[in-house]
A and B are shown apart, each in its own frame.
Chain A
Amino acid sequence: MANNILVFIEQRNGQIKKASLEAISSAAEIAQKLSYKVNGVTIGNDINDLQSLSNYGLEQITHYKNSNLENYSPTAYTEITSKAITEYDGDIIFFSNTSLGKDLAPRIAAKFDAGIAIDCISLEISGNEIIAQRPVFAGKALVEVKVNSPKKIFTLRPNVFKVKTNSANNTEVKTVNVDNPNLATKVIEVKKSEGKLDVAEADIIVSGGRGLKGPEHFHLVEELARALGAASGASRAVVDAGWRPHSEQVGQTGKTVSPSLYVALGISGAIQHLAGMRSSKYIVAINKDKDAPIFQVADYGIVGDLFEIVPALIEEIKKIKS
């Protein structure tokens, strides 16, 4: 045992992801409890503000740099991360449970024959071991998992672990230029959904369901989302009906989310939907059916006509924000 934690730090467009700040904060805390060392690895071209990561408790961050590594390449990222794990002799490796992390972490697990715990929502130390808690069945149940192989891999659900800086400001940032990365599988283009926040990353989500009666009324969801600085989401019923794109679907065959605030408009709360959003910190439901299951998980509810209530809510939010 080398007693080293290594954190994969993810960048998109040269910006460090917030989920990575959560992962390094959590790794530093665990490293302290286990008396491990903790280092970071990041891959990309120019990365902004790497120096700003110097007060999270990491000893060193290695930035593997090449102009062809700005976007994700599964082959190149797998090879480079594997190399970093070997160089740092990492026995515990953290990733964020993002679309990139979920793609990369298992490849590393296969390479090192390492056990992997995906989408962890809590990491506790018991004895000298990490006990991970993770949701299964989209959150209808939770399991506790321990990894027994020499190398152990964890992916951490975004928006769950707290970002914590350290008083010491002493992380060394090292840049290594990569020659000829293996680009056998590579991203050739990134298509952004214009100006839209993604439900998987948003701190506030406003979702709409069948109660909106038709796609033409979804502007209410979008306007409220805009007023709150939120992402817009949707129930499976309206995605299956073709009113909204699948990327907005919250629930068991969509995205499992845990924002600070989830506002459900005209959503009755089918079991697969509740599974995907019940871990939100606060839930607001507006629905005309007082017996709708959504009210069983809602912190605050208004039983009434959303076509009357939502415009008033949008105005009220705009008023307090201005």
Chain B
Amino acid sequence: MKIAVCISHVPDTAAKINIGSDGKSIDPSGVSFVVNPYDEFAIEEALKTKEKLGGETVAISLGSEASKETLRKALAMGIDNAVLLKDDSYRDSLSVAKALAEEIKNQNAELVFFGKQSVDYDNSITGQLTAELLGYHCISVVVSFTLDGNKIVAEREIEGGKEVVETVLPAVITAQKGLNDPRYASLKGIMAAKKKVIEEKTIAAAVNHTELLGMKKPPLKQAGKIIGNDASAVPELVRLLREEAKVI
């Protein structure tokens, strides 16, 4: 079975975000980029599934040349092959999903893992969009996954609990933190990944149905008051919450 994992290269969650001069994107200077944290769970689940059932794994990323770093990381963790869908332009989720769906079809992958959301634009929908475009089943925000023959049983996180969901291949699974513990790349893996060729493909120009008009920083919250430094401040805190904030 061919297993694909779709990953993206994003600013580290510890990064401070500043707005770029175009007023529509971030200023990348001083920002370090990493594998999208949720994609590490997707990579791990692809590897575990291959180890159990055999097959071949491929990592696909859509983005600029820099995304190769993230693909290289997936190879170092043990993914067999990597494809970069090279594109430097702004794409909305649906436009990304169309390009990914095309490549997944090329790869003939029956099982596809995504991170449940990328931590840059926080859309959390690319997996579901891609699945629907492919006519694949899809379970999102998954914290446990089993595949038995053709049948999938997964648990997805919902408000105040979990749903146990059943479906069949071909399918897209989007990974939530808690699905597994992503492995560290071994030295051997890192060396082997350096030698591997990342296949580069050009894709059709973006057609976006959404338009990003502008980006700004959220209004700064004013630092409030320090009420005290021990338990004697508690009555005043409670009074402020009741009378000033009116939240309790």
Contact B238 A313 (CB under 8 A): yes
Q: Which of A74, A192, A303 contacts B226 (CB 8 A)?
A: A303
Query: SS class of chain A's interface: helix, strand, loop or mixed?
Result: mixed
Q: How large is the interface on A (under 10, 10 to 19, 20 to 34, 35 or more residues)?
A: 35 or more
Cα A142 to Cα B24 with chains together (Å): 10
Q: Does A45 contact B (CB under 8 A)?
A: no
Query: SS class of chain B's interface: helix, strand, loop or mixed?
Result: mixed
Q: Which among B128, B176, B216 has the greatest number of chain A C-beta atoms within 10 A?
A: B128
Q: Does A211 contact B (CB under 8 A)?
A: no
Contacts of B159 in A (CB 8 A): 98-99, 198, 200-201
Q: Does B38 contact A (CB under 8 A)?
A: yes
Contact A137 B132 (CB under 8 A): no
Q: Does B149 contact A (CB under 8 A)?
A: no
Q: In A184-218, which residues have CB < 8 Å from any B CB?
A: 184-193, 196-198, 200-201, 204
Tell me whether A309 and B227 are in contact in the complex, defined as CB-CB below 8 angstroms, given that A100-B158, A137-B11, A137-B122 are known contacts.
no
Tell me whether A185 and B167 are in contact in the complex, defined as CB-CB below 8 angstroms, given that A131-B213, A204-B247 are known contacts.
yes
Cα A184 to Cα B146 with chains together (Å): 17
Q: Does A136 contact B (CB under 8 A)?
A: yes
Contact A193 B161 (CB under 8 A): yes
Cα A126 to Cα B201 with chains together (Å): 40
Q: Does B191 contact A (CB under 8 A)?
A: no
Give the A-B pair count, Cβ closer than 8 A: 275
Contact A140 B17 (CB under 8 A): yes
Contact A188 B165 (CB under 8 A): yes
Q: In B127-165, which residues have CB < 8 Å from any A CB?
A: 128-129, 131-133, 137-141, 143, 153, 155-165
Cα A111 to Cα B129 with chains together (Å): 9
Contact B119 A302 (CB under 8 A): no
Tell me whether A141 and B19 are in contact in the complex, defined as CB-CB below 8 angstroms, given that A135-B122, A185-B166 are known contacts.
yes
Nearest chain B CB to A140 CB, angstrom units:
4
Nearest chain B CB to A215 CB, angstrom units:
17
Q: Does B197 contact A (CB under 8 A)?
A: no
Contact A253 B221 (CB under 8 A): no
Chain B residues within CB distance 8 Å of chain A:
11, 13-17, 19, 24, 26, 37-38, 92-94, 97, 119-126, 128-129, 131-133, 137-141, 143, 153, 155-168, 176-178, 208-218, 221, 223-231, 233-235, 237-238, 240-242, 245, 247-248
Closest 6 CB pairs of A and B: A115-B209, A110-B132, A106-B125, A299-B224, A149-B209, A312-B231
